[in-house]
Amino acid sequence: MITREENITQEVIVEYERRLLERHLSGKNSKFSIYIWSKDYRDVPDTDNLKLVILKDSKPGKIFIEKHGENPRVYRNTMIFLSIDSNQQENFYKFIRRVLALKSIDMDKKLSLTDSQKKEIKNKIKSSEERTYEEIRKYYRKVFVPSKEDFKEIDLGVPTFGGESYIDNEIYGRLRSEGELLEKLSPAVIKEKYLAAKEYVETKKILDAFMKTPGEMRIVSSDVLKDSIKEGIEKGLFGLGYIEDGTPKCKYFKESVSPELVDNEIIINPDLCVEETTEVEKGETEKPISLSPPTEETMKVENKEQPAYKEYKRIHLKLNTPLGRISDIVRIANYLKKLFSECAVKIEISAQNGSIQVTDYENKIEEALRQAGVEIEEEIKE
């Protein structure tokens, strides 16, 4: 066995490593465009879709988000990087070397093995195959996202036994849970961020900020912004209009309309969108909403129609959560943490009608919790 392992070249190991990576990526169903082992920043297109760049380095170079060919990169905030943990490299390559040695023995018809030995080899191969995701994830575990200064590092930690089997899906879920990827965006956030001190802002400039500015809110696609603006218009948080002859004009307010995110299209402060009070006669074309300064009378009406929001000072939730939705709970908790100075989450895990070996429990459960810094307050094992 030792001789077999020693005869396996580094080139063969690296080739098998790439095959393992490809096996544990979701392929065409991925939320990302995936680039494996990009050695040069020119290998990654400068497009507005989310990209996962998998590197054989411990950290991406900043040039990846700064340059594309001879030109500056435009869509800097759409790049996600997955890097290795160099401390795990020796163990990972040792694992690969052993797997390849076992397969070599299994395929060697010249060896005179007993049925018992053949069965043992096949069982070891099967056991190793079941561990491939765990082993490759311990090696590829560092995620980097663009930030205002450099990169923000997110350690994926120890993989959960029996959990996700595709690396890109796990990364996507983790980024969502930490608020680094948004599938939905509250229109109130848009209003607060872009209209708090302005009368209007171009929708395309908002999209450009999301896609191009490192460290900005990162949306999974432009549809997230479109849906948010549409909801905001319907709720009267802002209006939608266009810049015509250098002047902003409000066209839609408190109605259903989808923005196109194009030049000269704007969202407008609701105070400047005054609905037509003239009753539209039957057969008459409805006039667009006019843009005019709010009068004392209209301010009274708006204040009456939009009472102050109610607030909760304390929230306590006890949840029965499906396993596949745990990441959503983490995302919600992270959001609440931004609003409340004290936000604690306690989790109960109850598993029965099955079994787990003591060694697996200690190595995969207790060790994972320890590395994650999670304190076990109560533990019952039978």
pTM: 0.73
What type of residue sits at position 121? I
State percent of the chain over pLDDT 70.
Answer: 85
Q: How far apart are CA 38 and CA 21, in angstroms?
A: 14
Q: How far apart are CA 46 and CA 78, in angstroms?
A: 9
Question: Which pair of structure tokens corresponds to residue 242?
Answer: 């266009």
Say how far residue 282 (Cα) sits from the centre of its chain: 50
Q: How far apart are the first and last CA of the chain?
A: 39
pLDDT at position 186 over 90: yes
Mean per-residue pLDDT for 157-176? 87
**Confidence band, pLDDT 50/70/90 cuts, at residue 374:** confident
Work out the burial of residue 167: count CB atoms within 10 Å of its CB; fewer than 13 is exposed, 13-18 middle, 19 or more buried.
buried
pLDDT at position 334 over 80: no
Q: Which of 41-50, 104-113, 181-190 has the lowest mean pLDDT?
A: 104-113
Maximum mean pLDDT: which of 137-141, 175-179, 286-290, 291-295: 137-141
pLDDT of residue 323: 61
Give the number of C-alpha atoms closer than 13 A to the C-alpha of residue 191, restricted to the C-beta side: 19
Question: Which pair of structure tokens corresponds to residue 212?
Answer: 């191009």
Maximum mean pLDDT: which of 5-9, 232-236, 349-353: 232-236
Q: How far apart are CA 153 and CA 145, in angstroms?
A: 7
**Confidence band, pLDDT 50/70/90 cuts, at residue 340:** confident
pLDDT of residue 327: 59
pLDDT of residue 243: 95
* 100 within 8 A of 13, measured Cβ to Cβ: yes
* 206 within 8 A of 194, measured Cβ to Cβ: yes
pLDDT of residue 291: 43
pLDDT digits (tens, 9 = 90+) for 272-318: 886 532 333 334 444 444 444 444 443 333 344 444 457 888 888 88
Q: How far apart are CA 12 and CA 373, in angstroms?
A: 37
pLDDT of residue 333: 78
pLDDT of residue 79: 97
Backbone phi, psi, residue 53, to 5°: -105, 115
pLDDT of residue 290: 42
pLDDT of residue 1: 64
Mean per-residue pLDDT for 13-29? 95
pLDDT digits (tens, 9 = 90+) for 84-102: 999 999 999 999 999 999 9
pLDDT digits (tens, 9 = 90+) for 42-88: 999 999 999 999 999 999 999 999 999 899 999 999 999 999 999 99
Identify the residue with better confidence: 153 or 349: 153
Mean per-residue pLDDT for 119-142? 93
pLDDT at position 376 over 80: yes
How large is the C-alpha radius of gyration of the chain?
28
What letter does residue 261 receive in the DSSP assignment? -
Identify the residue with better confidence: 23 or 340: 23
**Confidence band, pLDDT 50/70/90 cuts, at residue 363:** low
Average pLDDT, the chain: 85
* 159 within 8 A of 134, measured Cβ to Cβ: yes
Tell me how crowded residue 209 is: count the other CB atoms within 10 A of its CB. 15
Q: How far apart are CA 88 and CA 103, in angstroms?
A: 23
The bridge status of strand 79-84 relative to strand 71-72 is unpaired
pLDDT of residue 353: 85
Among 180, 189, 225, 194, residue whose Cα is nearest residue 77: 180
Q: How far apart are CA 346 and CA 367, in angstroms?
A: 19
Q: Which of 5-14, 201-210, 219-228, 326-335 has the lowest mean pLDDT?
A: 326-335
Q: How far apart are CA 42 and CA 18, in angstroms?
A: 21
Cα torsion 375, 355, 131, 1 to 10°: value is 120
Residue located via tokens 């996202």: 145
Q: How far apart are CA 130 and CA 314, in angstroms?
A: 45
